[in-house]
A = this chain, B = another copy of it.
Amino acid sequence: MIHVGIIGYGYWGPNLVRNFFSQQECNIKTVADSRPNRLEDLKKLYPSIKAVQDADEIINDPEIDAVIIATPINSHFSLAQKALTNGKHVLIEKPMASSVMECEKLIELSLQKNLVLMVDHTFLYTGAVEKIKEIIDNDILGNIKYLDSTRINLGLFQPDINVLWDLAPHDLSILRYLYNATPYSINATGISHTDNGVENIAYMTINYTSGFIAHLNCSWSSPVKVRMMMIGGDKKMIVYNDVEPTEKIKVYDTAYQLKTDEDKKQILVDYRVGDIYVPKINNKEALASVASDFITSIRESKLPRSSYIIGLDIIKMLEAAEKSIKNNGVEVKLS
């Protein structure tokens, strides 16, 4: 039995509690939140769970094996550092931390202590992303040439982190999981419609040396909710529409392929437009799989799917994007 404590019972916390509650071989001992009314809500539904205001009661509890951190991003590092130092396995809400340096410190600590350090990039565990991964791994798409994602809605303007830090982690985690390579550089542009200079609309191009390209369009200022991702291969292409209730993924037997010709000056492209295939998707709750992967990774000392490696790469990309956006879109190379 693995005993866990959950820090933060805000928007996402109840989902974490519900899903870890129904995990086998797992016991939620304590939930911490500084707001008394949040704890009242918790106690009504889960009278068996200990509710505390001070996160240290979790971090210092010798009976607790693992800590889940679901607080605002600026507290991720300090809480995770203390938990790891105290020998706890750690699952952090996305994004992992506020900077690459913070992430690297946490990773080093977890390796020293031989503890699981996982980031909750929930999307990697959805039926849709699992199906796309399977399609790509089975070489249905051929060589992947681009990924293009639009993630926009009327969103809560956040005072301290821009729209990329808020929304792009979803796209970047999917990108990083599906296309297993570290990008070469980032360009980003955007605008702040508030006085504090925090961008509410931003665009991000992710460049690779391979000829693959990714682009994200993120906005808190759209009247409609769009969650649309396209992935183009030289054999087939996928359109992944996450707001569609059932037909989320469409695989298009559509491609353009360069023909080899003697005269290099001429462009010969083979076009193909064919049938479309809409695979059935497992519509399980992704967070249950996150919980299961975390518990299993602790028990088997294995790397979870949503590992610190993916978590770190996302922070690298976000940091580079922010640097680019503040320098008028200049290309920022990833170290």
A: residues with CB less than 8 A from B are 45, 47, 145-146, 148, 150, 152, 154, 156-157, 159, 185, 187, 189-191, 193-196, 198, 200-201, 203, 205, 207, 211, 213, 215, 217, 219-224, 230, 232, 237, 239, 243, 245, 247, 250, 252-254, 256, 258, 264-267, 269, 271, 273-280, 328-331
How long is the Cα–Cα vector from A47 to B47 in the complex, in angstroms? Answer: 9
Specify which of B194, B266, B273 is in contact with A269 (CB 8 Å cutoff). Answer: B194
Mostly helix, strand, loop or mixed at chain A's interface?
strand
Known: A145-B193, A276-B277. A232 touches B221 (CB 8 A): yes
Complex contacts, A271 vs chain B, CB 8 Å: 154, 156
- B223 in contact with A232 (CB, 8 Å): yes
Specify which of B194, B217, B250 is in contact with A215 (CB 8 Å cutoff). Answer: B217
- B207 in contact with A189 (CB, 8 Å): yes
How long is the Cα–Cα vector from A196 to B263 in the complex, in angstroms? Answer: 11
How long is the Cα–Cα vector from A148 to B150 in the complex, in angstroms? Answer: 11
How long is the Cα–Cα vector from A193 to B272 in the complex, in angstroms? Answer: 16
- A213 in contact with B201 (CB, 8 Å): yes
- B328 in contact with A328 (CB, 8 Å): no
Which 8 pairs between the two chains have the least Cβ-Cβ distance? A223-B252, A276-B278, A187-B329, A189-B205, A223-B254, A223-B237, A328-B331, A191-B213
* Closest chain B CB from A267 CB (angstroms): 5
How long is the Cα–Cα vector from A328 to B205 in the complex, in angstroms? Answer: 11
Complex contacts, A273 vs chain B, CB 8 Å: 154, 223, 280
Complex contacts, A230 vs chain B, CB 8 Å: 222-224
Complex contacts, A265 vs chain B, CB 8 Å: 196
Complex contacts, A150 vs chain B, CB 8 Å: 150
A-B contact pairs, 24 of them (CB 8 A): A145-B221, A146-B201, A146-B219, A148-B201, A154-B254, A156-B269, A157-B267, A187-B328, A189-B205, A189-B207, A193-B258, A194-B267, A198-B267, A203-B205, A215-B217, A220-B256, A222-B230, A223-B232, A223-B237, A223-B254, A224-B239, A276-B277, A278-B278, A329-B330
